[in-house]
Amino acid sequence: MAKISEAYVFVDEVEGNRLKLSEKHSKKNPMTNEWTTTGYTDVTGWLPKDYSGPQLTKGTRVKVSGSQRSEDRESNGRKYRNVIWNLETVEVVQGHAERPTQDPRGAVDPSEETPF
């Protein structure tokens, strides 16, 4: 398993100790000096069974650490790889708690985002 020392992600869904998370990928445009979102990676995160941290809701931006593993699966003849994080720490990032209102796979106004 790979170690995750620090990652900033958005919470998409909470179901018990299982979270659906989106990790944003950004790139700085050298011509305009602005950050633009290039995509997102969907991740399944598992909270510790004894998690007693803040209440997490859709759209919350969090800083996490833990370990990563992947699982291969097949559906309708296509192969997929699921990324799974076993979370050790979860911290709500103050001042950046709300995710942009558009779908993570759609275009987002760069002025609404903070690069990380």
- Would you say residue 114 lies in a domain? no
Counted domains in the chain = 1
Max avg pLDDT among 15-19, 22-26, 94-98, 108-112: 15-19
Read off the CATH number of the domain in which 22 is found: 2.40.50.140
Tell me whether residue 21 is in a domain.
yes
pLDDT number for residue 14? 94
Phi, psi of 110 (to 5 degrees): -60, -25
Is 107 inside a domain boundary? no
Rounded to the nearest angstrom, the gap between the alpha carbon of residue 6 and the centroid of all alpha carbons in its chain is 11
> What's residue 94's pLDDT?
67
Please check whether residue 109 lies inside any domain of the structure.
Answer: no
Give the residue numbers spanning the domain of 80: 2-101
Say if residue 111's pLDDT is above 60.
no
Please report whether residue 115 resides in a domain. Answer: no
Reduced to 3 states (helix: H, G, I; strand: E, B; else coil), residue 112 is helix
pLDDT per residue as tens digits for the range 27-72: 998 999 998 888 888 899 999 888 888 889 999 999 999 999 999 9
Q: State pTM to two decimals.
A: 0.68
What are 93-107's pLDDT values in tens digits? 864 444 444 444 444
